[in-house]
Structure 1
């Protein structure tokens, strides 16, 4: 997630636009130059046509941007739920289980929940598991196609075993199981967002219409001031392309990019909170990277 407006953030954005920017500048410059020295200026397109095209593009972009932000915001809300439910789970386990815990159940739940958060974030980004996660999986001999789901299953298995050994109240057991189920629901929501692709045809249509507008715009402008004409013919399409690119970047919040939902930072927060719950001591917050974004 972007947290600073510096030159690195600007360069990150421009690197997605530089080809389109180059083509539009080249086209506008060539058309204006030819217009000055030939009879091309006799070819005019009514400004009303350009206005209608621009209005259509603006309406489509407004819908596209709203839908993309909705996907990003839903992803952020889901991870907010994960933060809350992770705290709730460990608090319930600590409060409901007896103080005498020979199997160290609370610590195992806490450690597994921390690993679950990191494993989920890395799975959504399709990254190789970090050393921390992989070491845990190797130590516990856990192997599955869906590691986060397997870890939640381990939660349920240990809850069943501990409830039998520690004679846990059935109502309290049901409450803990309900929290695990809500974590599973949150994981499913993340997977739905990740696996639902925004329609490519819609993106192609908007991009095509922006280029149509860029193509006809120079022929609908006044030819009295050529440099002004070039500037307008460049600025308007570039602004529309920038809005479109913003929507494209936001529509996939789990792609390991600076604009993603900061799942790693949220997992760090969860780890910090869980350790404070089980130790009753203040835990030092992990320092944030000195970058223009947090991931």
Structure 2
């Protein structure tokens, strides 16, 4: 998630130009071409190619409508992703509190040792942290196993590598551990049912995230938005040049840049799980949940929060 650009205005402008250099170069070339062929038409004894302003204006209006709809829809996807992970935060903390407070030797009439109950709590909490990191891997299609290996046995990690939907399998294992706790009278039936409902909630939240990841933004919106954008960019200088002369170059570049940035922002926002600077910071959120859960079980290996990263030109963001 992008926190802010550099405090230095020069770096801000430099960064924007750098990340959009190819588009800016094309705008410049098209604008120069449109201006030169009009200004030197008499010298080369040719008829200048010009376009009427009205059709190009109508095209720009249609493009603005497409961009507005697409960007609104893309932002809805980004905001839904953030709400899903906000739900994961709340549900994870609730689950951790339930695991630590619902389990007791009272239900087994003190037959279960406290150290065994604590081990049961630690196993479930650690496996839930693995579910969080496995969900990140699943959404980003990555294969980073170090975060999982910190919390579950190496044998279980190897078994997970063979499974397609790893986070779903981890939740299945969590359900098995809850049943074992119930059978050992670590938790009684009502508390077992409440914890099972939390597993159901995690499945639901995972499914929502998978829905965003798996639902491709309608292709025709992306395709025709791109077609209309470049048609507008190419036509614009040839409609402005009769009125603006050489001023067409900066004006056409500025207008084209605005429309292109709008199109680019929508394209980036529509897929919020990729780990880019503007995406939902699921790694940072997961680390914060990990810290909370490990502190609940009084772990001695609690990691530090993830600090904002600084990219090129002073951009600060959370992964």
Q: Does 1:76 align with 2:95?
A: no
Residue number in structure 2 paired with 1:102:
116
Q: Deviations over 1:43-78 (max 9, x none)?
A: 543322122111100011000000111111111110
Distance across 2 between alignment mates of 1:215 and 1:272: 53
> For the structure 1 residues 137 and 205, does the alpha-carbon distance in structure 2 shift closer, same or farther, using more than 3 Å as the test?
farther
Q: Is the 8 A contact 2:134 2:167 kept in 1?
A: yes
Any stretches of 5+ residues in structure 2 without a counterpart?
106-113, 311-315
Between 1:132-141 and 1:23-32, the stretch displaced more is: 132-141
Shift of the alpha carbon at 1:284?
Answer: 6.9
Q: Does 1:123 align with 2:126?
A: no
Q: Is the 8 A contact 2:50 2:241 kept in 1?
A: no
Q: Does 1:293 align with 2:309?
A: no
Distance across 2 between alignment mates of 1:25 and 1:230: 7
Give the alignment's Cα RMSD to 1 decimal.
Answer: 2.5
Q: Is the 8 A contact 1:2 1:9 kept in 2?
A: no
Q: Deviations over 1:97-140 (max 9, x none)?
A: 10535252111111111111111112211111231314535243
> For the structure 1 residues 127 and 14, does the alpha-carbon distance in structure 2 shift closer, same or farther, using more than 3 Å as the test?
farther
> For the structure 1 residues 137 and 245, does the alpha-carbon distance in structure 2 shift closer, same or farther, using more than 3 Å as the test?
farther
Q: Is the 8 A contact 1:41 1:223 kept in 2?
A: no
Distance across 1 between alignment mates of 2:202 and 2:226: 39
Distance across 2 between alignment mates of 1:53 and 1:60: 11
> For the structure 1 residues 79 and 121, does the alpha-carbon distance in structure 2 shift closer, same or farther, using more than 3 Å as the test?
same
Shift of the alpha carbon at 1:25?
Answer: 1.0
Distance across 1 between alignment mates of 2:13 and 2:79: 22
Q: Does 1:30 align with 2:36?
A: no
Residue number in structure 2 paired with 1:140:
156
Shift of the alpha carbon at 1:11?
Answer: 7.0
Q: Secondary structure of the residue that 1:279 maps to in structure 2?
A: coil
Between 1:78-87 and 1:33-42, the stretch displaced more is: 33-42
Shift of the alpha carbon at 1:191?
Answer: 1.1
Residue number in structure 1 paired with 2:291:
272
Residue number in structure 1 paired with 2:226:
207
Shift of the alpha carbon at 1:178?
Answer: 0.6
Query: What TM-score, normalized by structure 2, do the two folds share?
Result: 0.84
Any stretches of 5+ residues in structure 1 without a counterpart?
none
Shift of the alpha carbon at 1:13?
Answer: 5.9
Alignment of 1:236-251 (within 5 A): 236-251=255-270
Structure 1 residue ranges (4+ consecutive) displaced by more than 4 angstroms after TM superposition: 7-16, 39-43
Q: Does 1:20 align with 2:43?
A: no
